[in-house]
Amino acid sequence: MKILVLVSGGDAPGINKFLFELNNAFKDCFAVVGGFRGLIDNNIVPLSSFNPKIYQNEAGAIIKSSRCPEFKEEKYFKKALANAKKFDCLVILGGNGSAKGAKELQDNGMRTIFVPCTIDNDVDGSDYSIGYHSAVMACNFVIENIMPSMEAFNRCCVFEVMGRKCDAIAKAVANMADVDYLIANEVDLDYKKIVKVIKDKYKKGHASSIVLRENITNIQTLCQKLEEESKVTVKYNVIGHIQRGFKPTKLELKNAKAFAVNAIKAIKNSEESHAVLMKKGKIVIEKL
Ligand code: F6P
């Protein structure tokens, strides 16, 4: 059986573990280099050529990823489909957009297996997507290692976390790092409330911390306003791509392996297309 695998959208810690397991399970395992873009261009090489064994515990995506809006255009979709059809099964790791791509390919006769893989943890039907735990731990690491400096001056620091439109990372980090205020959506942007939190902590002789989910407001403007109104120094830190490049946590590696084991099972035990999802802590295999 000839297996093809691709990674689409934002890379996520744990991908390389998944690839390592997949490569071990099949004799003929190939990788698309650079997601759907690579599939259109027929950029396909043996997965083993990327040395998955060496990189299994590292972040990133050894086979490269891409964002490829052209995939939705018929002309390019047909090219991608024709290239995929040279294989028996295509495994797609990505978020909701990639799930749609997987379904589209399946509806056009390509057997596909979809695996949720995005730090945002916003994949429909799955409680978990590969990368999420490491991203949360990366944010916690940054906050833990910046706040002692803030504390030395009783300053406030606003930390912007990723997540696109999803508040999963923001909520988990706010809880884990025990921050003073969370701006997870537009409603939370209550200046009066936030200023009070900053001032109260300052009066008690302490720093304050705020987590801001990305795509809500401009962090620099927000901090200027908070500083003006509270009269407390407000610093900011956009946590950024350390969330994607962070070394996968032990739990991440365990989850990525579990997703891989079940994807392999789905490939071997049936001839249909599936999504491998996590529900209530258990991996389930559902029809795509
Ligand atoms: O989807 C993952 C993600 O990291 C989002 O949280 C973020 O908004 C986006 O990707 C950033 O993408 P890029 O690295 O392409 O700028």
Active site residue 120: yes
d(CA 180, CA 178): 7
185-197: buried (b, 16+ CB within 10 Å) or exposed (e) per residue? Answer: eeebeeeeebbeb
pLDDT at 21: 98
pLDDT at 155: 98
Q: Do domains 2-131+248-287 and 133-245 have the same CATH topology?
A: yes
What's the gap in Å between 124 CA and the centre of ligand 1?
A: 17
In terms of Cα–Cα distance, which of 130, 155, 82, 166 is closest to 246? 130
Task: Please give the CATH architecture assigned to the domain spanning 133-245.
Answer: 3-Layer(aba) Sandwich (3.40)
> What average pLDDT score do residues 214-218 get?
98
C-alpha dihedral sign at 115, 121, 125, 127: positive
Q: 72: how many CB neighbours lie within 10 A of its CB?
A: 13
Pocket lining for ligand 1, CB < 6 angstroms: 9-10, 95, 118-120, 162-164, 214, 244
Name the pTM for this structure: 0.97
Fold exhibited by the domain 2-131+248-287: Rossmann fold (3.40.50)
For 102-128, how does the pLDDT look when each residue is reduced to its tens digit (9 = 90+)? 999 999 999 999 999 999 999 999 999
For 247-263, how does the pLDDT look when each residue is reduced to its tens digit (9 = 90+)? 999 999 999 999 999 99
Q: Give the angle 204-207-210 at the CA atoms, nearest 5°.
A: 120
For 163-213, how does the pLDDT look when each residue is reduced to its tens digit (9 = 90+)? 999 999 999 999 999 999 999 999 999 999 999 999 999 999 999 999 999
Question: What atom of ligand 1 comes closest to residue 9's alpha carbon?
Answer: 1
Nearest CA to ligand 1 atom 11: 10
Q: Check 120, 122, 167, 188 and give the catalytic one.
A: 120
Taking the alpha carbons at both ends of the chain, their separation in whole angstroms is 20
> What average pLDDT score do residues 144-150 get?
98
Q: 49: pLDDT confidence band, cut at 50, 70 and 90?
A: very high
Nearest CA to ligand 1 atom 2: 10
pLDDT at 98: 96
pLDDT at 287: 94
pLDDT at 201: 98
Domain boundaries, the chain: 2-131+248-287, 133-245
pLDDT at 52: 98
Question: What atom of ligand 1 comes closest to residue 215's alpha carbon?
Answer: 8
pLDDT at 96: 95
Question: What atom of ligand 1 comes closest to residue 95's alpha carbon?
Answer: 1
Exposure of 228 in the CB half-sphere (CA atoms within 13 A): 7
Integer angstrom CA distances of residue 74 from 70, 71, 104, 229:
9, 8, 11, 53
pLDDT at 265: 97
pLDDT at 50: 98
pLDDT at 261: 98
Tell me what the pLDDT averaged over the chain comes to.
97
